[in-house]
């Protein structure tokens, strides 16, 4: 089960977040989203925790919702599934400029 964790303090590490969830079951992965282009990789204040089973994930969500982590209440909900990606291709038009076209995802 994939779980969204929001309103994270900027100084929380993935290990600290893992310790909060491991109490409820096996944690497959923890990812705190960061600003890709900032020098220090500053946290965006949210992340995702993937747990092995749905029942363990639901127990974690119910117990950790609103819990204070480093003095700040966190949001914990089931993450929405990713939408299907559209294939993109790049080609050059007759003026030598790059143009990107999108193909519809097949059903």
Flag whether 94 is in a domain. no
Closest CA to 56 of 20, 17, 24, 19: 24
Element (H, E) at 62: helix 54-64
Which CATH number covers residue 43? 3.30.70.330
pLDDT in tens, 12-44: 999 999 999 999 999 999 999 987 655 566 778
Flag whether 99 is in a domain. no
Range of the domain at 60: 2-78
Flag whether 6 is in a domain. yes
Flag whether 98 is in a domain. no
- Residue 17 three-state SS: helix
Burial (Cβ within 10 Å: 0-12, 13-18, ≥19) of residue 32: buried
pLDDT in tens, 42-89: 778 999 999 999 999 999 999 999 999 999 999 999 998 776 665 555
Report the domain count for the chain: 1
């Amino acid at each position: 089960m994939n779980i969204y964790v929001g309103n994270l303090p900027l100084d929380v590490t993935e290990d600290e977040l893992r310790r909060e969830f491991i109490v409820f079951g096996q944690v497959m992965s923890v990812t705190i989203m960061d600003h890709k282009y900032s020098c220090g990789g500053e946290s965006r204040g949210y992340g995702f925790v993937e747990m092995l089973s749905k029942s363990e994930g639901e127990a974690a969500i119910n117990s950790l919702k609103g819990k204070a982590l480093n003095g700040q209440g966190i949001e914990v909900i089931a993450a929405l599934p990713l939408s299907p990606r559209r294939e993109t291709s790049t080609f050059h038009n007759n003026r030598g400029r790059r143009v990107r076209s999108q193909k519809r995802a097949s059903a």
